[in-house]
Amino acid sequence: MPSGRTHDRITLWALPFVVAIAFWQTRNGNLTLLVAGGFMFGGLMFGPDLDIYSRQFQRWGWLRWIWLPYQKRLRHRSFFSHGPIIGTTLRVLYLTTLLFILSIFGLIVGAKLGNITLNWQDISENVGRSLSSYSTEFLALFLGLELGAMSHSLSDWGGSAYKRYQKQGVQGLLPRAKMKKRKPSGGRKGTGGTRGTRGTRKTRGTRGK
């Protein structure tokens, strides 16, 4: 498994290619910037290794405590943290939910202190309108986050596969089949052994007689 510095170098080296491909596909500077920014953020601070005490986790500084529940719920390198699409989606939902709760709390406190009446219907309509109007931008940002996370996960899987290849050769790259071990039925053997013993005892007794 590559070190944190290696992951950072992979992210930085891959950035020009991501920018070039994004601009080639979109022909839009803003969308390209969102993809590139998401890629950098996903590779350096929002990647799969947030499930452990990693370089990405430490970069959150005094805010890194927000990822502690995330770490306790997920096993390191599980499909829900390192899996394609699902890992980034879960982290986005986790962070968005947390920010939403903090925002609601802040609005309530502000309304109490400033004597402001909150119209929750207007707030929800504005949020929904923003999501609909900037759906392309959100998609570009999510794509960048996913590319940054996948560069990390693929380097992990590639490094592990290379180590297995060094130790076991081509067989190390093949999926391991789990062999089911058959448990011996002790009851039948015990019954058979008892019967055999009884038969022997009877025979011996007949011979003696």
The count of structural domains within the chain is: 1
The answer as to whether 76 is a domain residue is yes
- pLDDT tier at 175 (50, 70, 90 boundaries)? low
The answer as to whether 30 is a domain residue is yes
User: What is the extent of the structural domain holding 123?
Assistant: 4-173
- pLDDT tier at 158 (50, 70, 90 boundaries)? low
The answer as to whether 195 is a domain residue is no
pLDDT (average), residues 153-179: 60
Q: Residue written as tokens 């953020």?
A: 41
The answer as to whether 190 is a domain residue is no
pTM above 0.85, yes or no: no
Nearest of 174, 1, 10, 176 to residue 82 by alpha carbon:
1
Give the number of other Cβ atoms within 10 Å of residue 86's Cβ.
12
